[in-house]
Structures are given as C-alpha cells and as structure tokens.
Homo-oligomer: A and B are copies of this chain.
C-alpha cells in the first residue's frame, strides 16, 4: 500500500539491528573476540533470533562488510566521476572519506585486519569488494592524471595503494590525537602525495 519503495518489514528491521550491532562490535574487537552472544544481546535478540536471520557468524560478518563496501564503492565512484584535475578529484574523494562518521571510516580497515581469518570464497569476496571500493577508484583517477601529464608516469596500482595507505594513516586513532580539523588531514595527505616532503626536487635515491 505505501510508496513503490517498500518500507522495511519488522524482519528487515531486526536484521538491520543485528548488522548494526555487529558492525559496532567488530570495529572495536577482533573477529574472534566478538561472540554471537554479544552481538545478539547488543541487538536485543537472542542467539536463536540471530541465527534465524543469518546462517553463521561468518556469513553475518561477510554480509555486513559487503553491504558497507558496496556503499563506499558508490560513494567514491561519485568522486571519480566528478570534474576537475586529478588533484582536485583525489582531494574530493579523501574529503568524502574523512567526513564519514568515525565508525564507517574504521570499518574500511577491517578487511585488512581480519582477512586472514577467512579462506576460500569468503576471503576472495572480501578482498575483491575492498579493492573495488577504494584502491580501484583511486587508481582510475591516478591513471587519468598520468594520461593528462599531471602525474609522473608510474605503476598506477602501487601508486593507488600508496595513496590509500596515506589516507588510512590519517584516519587512524593516532592521527585523531594530532589533527584538529578535516582540512588539515586532507591537505596533508594530498600535498604529501603530490608534492612530496622535500623542499627542493632532488632525486636519484639509489
């Protein structure tokens, strides 16, 4: 009867509550340290209720992560599609990231942290979803930048991973204690990546 876009049923609402509780717990503790009981209690259901909606702890975790990474992929794809120089677009992507609520930022690091816990198909799914959400989006911008002569030629895969690594430094707990503003973090990451830390362009390391 309502609008064409279905409103969430009670069942969907419960599942969403469970996922939210799981997300909250998984970012704070290790996968193995979070028990299904903890998740159920935090979501105000019993373990039986939890297993009514999810077939296993692994499946719950993977579902939660895939949902979130798909949201991120969409978010970052917008930054990729926006106009401007590579520098401006990477700054935009980074700003989108930095302006996410803290928990959503931290979620990104879960894959890197927990990926060893899984194996086979689940592991592949998680890795692929992560790559699709972040490094591959960054890589697109970097390849445009190289093509336009804005960035020096180089392996765009490693460059994008490097950029992502810099971003993840600046979203971490440690940086939280140092940076006051999003602008400061943003400027730091983008400036360092584009211009480097040296005062003069020297070169010839080895």
Contacts and interface: CB of A to CB of B under 8 A. Distances in A.
Interface in A150-194: 150-152, 154-155, 157-159, 161-162, 165-166, 168-170, 174-175, 178-179, 183, 186-188, 190-194
Contacts of A31: 30, 32
Interface string A91-126: 100000000000000000000011011000000000
Interface string A15-51: 0000000000000111111000000000000000000
- By DSSP majority rule, is chain A's interface helix, strand, loop, or mixed? helix
A89 B25 CA distance: 42
A26 B91 CA distance: 37
Interface in A49-69: none
A1 interface: no
A202 interface: yes
Interface residues of A, number: 52
Contacts of A191: 203, 205
A149 interface: yes
Contact of A117 (B33, B87, B91): B33
Contacts of A161: 169, 174-175
Given A166-B162, A168-B165, A174-B161, A203 B195 contact: yes
A198 B151 contact: yes
A199 interface: yes
Given A33-B32, A161-B169, A174-B161, A196 B205 contact: no
A168 B84 CA distance: 31
Nearest to A32: B32
A11 interface: no
A201 interface: yes
